Amino acid sequence: MSSRPNGPEPVRHHDHGTWLVQFTGRILTVCPRCGGRALVLPLPGLAAPKYFSTLLFQPRRLSCTGCGKVADWTADQRGAGLVGTVPGGTEDPFFRQPLWLQTRCAGRILWAYDEEHINALAAYVGARLRARHASPTMAMFARLPVWMKSAQRRDEVLAGLATLRKLALHSTSADRSDAAHERGDRPRHHGSMLFRGGPY
């Protein structure tokens, strides 16, 4: 007689050390002109980065199809190096605009950069078993707040992520979440990232 329990095997999540910066290649943000949805992408024509950490220094373009607003961002220069941005918090790390994908959840603000980021968070939150295969030092999942990782909050957080998925389908200022307004809650910076052509 088998000792294996009945029913499907619990969903397992494998964390291989994904960093938050890996989701900064495409960011949905609030347009500074019309308040609708804008998109932040690396400037066109750039070579694919050799290291994903290079995303912190890549020149970016904010564009809004609603009003035509376009703005460019480039990293500041410090001597021979570039000063990169620090991801995290409810603003996009380049233009400091509120993220488009924000909603109230468990008395806090749940946010994501784009649909890929939402899917990654949902896979982690929805898993009943979680396996870590890398150092947690800079890994995104290890650094998530306790309330997002709690089994007691699982259904609530998954519902919030479903709300973010719906928000991603909309683009006018009238569709903007009431959570996506400026509240002076920029992330606290832990020093600048300095790039000299290699990984850090």
SS3 label, residue 189 = coil
Structure tokens of 51?
């290291």
68: left (phi over 0), alpha (psi -120 to 50) or beta: left
Structure tokens of 46?
């750039």
Tell me the per-residue pLDDT of 114-149, one tens digit each, with 9 for 90 and over: 999 999 999 989 887 666 655 655 678 888 999 999
Tell me the per-residue pLDDT of 33-77, one tens digit each, with 9 for 90 and over: 999 999 999 999 888 777 777 888 899 999 999 999 999 999 888
What CA–CA distance (Å, rounded) separates 92 from 86? 10
Structure tokens of 71?
């703005």
Residue 86 · residue 97 · CB < 8 Å:
no
Structure tokens of 93?
């790390």
Angstrom CA distances, 88 to 108, 127, 165, stand at 15, 23, 19
Nearest to 156 by CA among 112, 105, 108, 104: 105
- Provide the H-helix boundaries in 60-177: 115-126, 146-149, 154-167
Residues paired with residue 99 on neighbouring β-strands, in sequence order:
29
Tell me the per-residue pLDDT of 71-101, one tens digit each, with 9 for 90 and over: 999 988 887 777 888 899 999 999 999 999 9
Residues paired with residue 77 on neighbouring β-strands, in sequence order:
82
SS3 label, residue 75 = coil
Q: pTM of the entire structure?
A: 0.82
> Residue 170: what pLDDT?
97
Identity (one letter) of the amino acid at 87?
A: P
